[in-house]
Each structure stands twice: as structure tokens, then as C-alpha cells.
């Protein structure tokens, strides 16, 4: 049974696994930590709070996730918009949490913050981590209403695939997460970043081992990719 009460909008989550991982040199969603892949960990964090988790994009997945619904990336666009469009096209009546597979610092507190912010959102919640820069928003690990689909379709048709342009639309909110949650939006793209992340885990350099499973690095230890 889903977590959404009767007569309310379903809440789904989509993890994008269709990237080429060219800088990492191997599929990032299959990187392992504490005996399980990043993808398995991400699904485990999401599953208790959404009605369904789906995976967008091609690629092998662990046998433990064989039951997860999979969808194809949209073929008329590239980049993260391909997965975001695929999700909203598949279930336009739902609202979506959409995130990348290379965000191993994702945790429940950051997820709860995003869901709380979504209650005031009409179209989308695109967090931003820099108070001084309103142009840089995070399109992944973000919340999208199905009502955002027409605007995304317009972007796809125009060839403007920079999702940060959504911030100009009324009903798209760009709130600032509390600073101690910023690391949840960190992503890892290169072997060097992966090594740094693993060193942080080995040293236990973070004060927020909130899940009792892993200690994640601070945002300062990880660089943020331009996801748009």
C-alpha cells in the first residue's frame, strides 16, 4: 500500500541512472559503500516515504532491485531533462522527487526538508545552496508537480534544456536548505572525488552520522556539478 492518503496526489521518486559516467569511467549507480550499491542505498532512503520508486535510463541494476519499475529516458532531449521528462510523462498526475544516482550523502533529514517545502510549491521546488547566487538551483534532488510538465515540454521543444530556467516561472520556488543539509546535494563525478569521499568516510569526518549507518562528508569536501 502506498504512503499517499486516498484522494491526494501520489508521490513518486525517480532516480536517474542513464548518465554515461564518462568522468568516473564506470557506472556510478553501481559504486559500492558499506556492502551495497549507491543505487540500493538511495532506493532504501526513498522507499519509506514515497508511493513508488522508479528508475529512469538504461544500465544494469543489482538483482535486489529487479522489482523496481523502469522507464526509458526521453529521446528528444539530453541531460537530466531526459529523465525528468520521462518521469512526468509517465505519471503526470503524480508529484515527483527526482534525483541523480551519484548523491551518496542523501539522507532522510534532507528528504523530509524537501517534502515539507513541497507543501508550499505549486510547480516545483528547486533548492539553491548559495544565498548570494539565485541563478544556481539544484534540479536534481528536487520536487516536481505534474503541473510542471507543460513548461518542461516547452523547454524541450525550444531546445532550451537548462532546467535552471524554470526558476523564472511563477510557482517554482527556490528555497535555501539549512546549511547542515547542503551535503545531501553533493554529487561525485570523478575517481578523485570518489577517493576524497571514501577518505572522509574512513576518517569519520562529519558530525552528522544521523542514520547510524554512514558518516557523510561536509559540502566543502565535495564539489557540486553543474546539473543543467
* pLDDT value at residue 132: 85
* Rounded distance between C-alpha atoms, residue 125 and residue 173, angstroms: 5
Higher pLDDT among residues 13 and 61, named by residue: 13
161: pLDDT strictly greater than 50: yes
* pLDDT value at residue 148: 94
Percent of the chain at pLDDT above 90? 48
* pLDDT value at residue 43: 95
pLDDT confidence bin for 24, thresholds 50/70/90: low
82: pLDDT strictly greater than 80: yes
**DSSP-derived 3-state class of residue 100:** strand
221: pLDDT strictly greater than 50: no
Residue spans per domain, the chain: 11-182
C-alpha distance from residue 112 to each of 64, 97, 187, 208, 219 (Å): 25, 11, 19, 16, 19
For 106-141, the DSSP string reads --HHHHHHHHHHHTT-SSEE---S-TT-TT----SS
The mean of the pLDDT values for the chain is: 81
Question: 35 near 67, Cβ under 8 Å?
Answer: no
Over range 191-216, report the average pLDDT.
Answer: 55
Question: 3 near 50, Cβ under 8 Å?
Answer: yes
Which of 32-36, 57-61, 83-87, 213-217 has the lowest average pLDDT? 213-217
Question: 52 near 3, Cβ under 8 Å?
Answer: no
Question: For the structural domain made of 11-182, what CATH number should be given?
Answer: 3.90.550.10
Q: pLDDT tens digits for 91-140?
A: 999 999 999 988 888 999 999 999 999 876 689 999 999 888 888 899 99
* pLDDT value at residue 220: 37
Cell numbers that stand for 31 in this block: 559504486
* pLDDT value at residue 146: 94
For 184-225, the DSSP string reads GG----SHHHHHHHHHHHHHT--S--TTSS-----GGGSPPP
Amino acid at each position: 500500500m502506498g504512503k499517499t492518503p486516498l484522494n491526494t496526489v501520489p508521490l513518486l521518486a525517480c532516480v536517474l541512472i542513464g548518465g554515461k559516467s564518462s568522468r568516473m569511467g564506470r557506472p556510478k549507480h553501481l559504486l559500492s559503500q558499506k556492502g551495497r550499491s549507491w543505487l540500493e542505498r538511495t532506493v532504501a532512503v526513498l522507499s519509506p516515504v514515497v508511493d513508488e520508486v522508479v528508475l529512469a535510463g538504461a544500465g544494469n541494476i543489482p538483482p535486489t532491485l529487479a522489482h523496481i519499475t523502469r522507464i526509458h529516458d526521453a529521446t528528444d532531449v539530453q541531460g537530466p531533462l531526459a529523465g525528468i521528462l520521462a518521469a512526468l510523462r509517465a505519471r503526470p498526475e503524480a508529484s515527483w522527487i527526482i534525483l541523480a544516482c551519484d548523491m551518496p550523502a542523501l539522507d532522510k533529514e534532507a528528504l523530509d526538508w524537501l517534502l515539507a517545502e513541497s507543501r508550499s510549491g505549486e510547480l516545483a521546488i528547486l533548492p539553491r545552496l548559495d544565498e548570494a547566487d539565485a541563478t544556481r538551483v539544484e534540479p536534481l534532488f528536487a520536487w516536481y508537480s505534474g503541473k510542471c510538465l507543460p513548461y518542461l515540454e516547452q523547454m524541450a521543444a525550444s531546445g532550451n534544456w537548462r532546467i535552471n530556467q524554470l526558476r523564472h516561472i511563477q510557482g517554482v520556488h527556490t528555497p535555501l536548505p539549512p546549511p547542515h543539509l547542503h551535503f545531501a546535494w553533493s554529487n561525485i563525478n570523478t575517481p578523485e572525488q570518489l577517493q576524497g569521499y571514501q577518505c572522509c568516510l574512513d576518517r569519520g569526518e562529519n558530525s552528522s552520522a544521523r542514520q547510524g549507518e554512514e558518516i557523510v562528508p561536509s559540502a566543502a569536501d565535495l564539489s557540486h556539478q553543474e546539473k543543467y
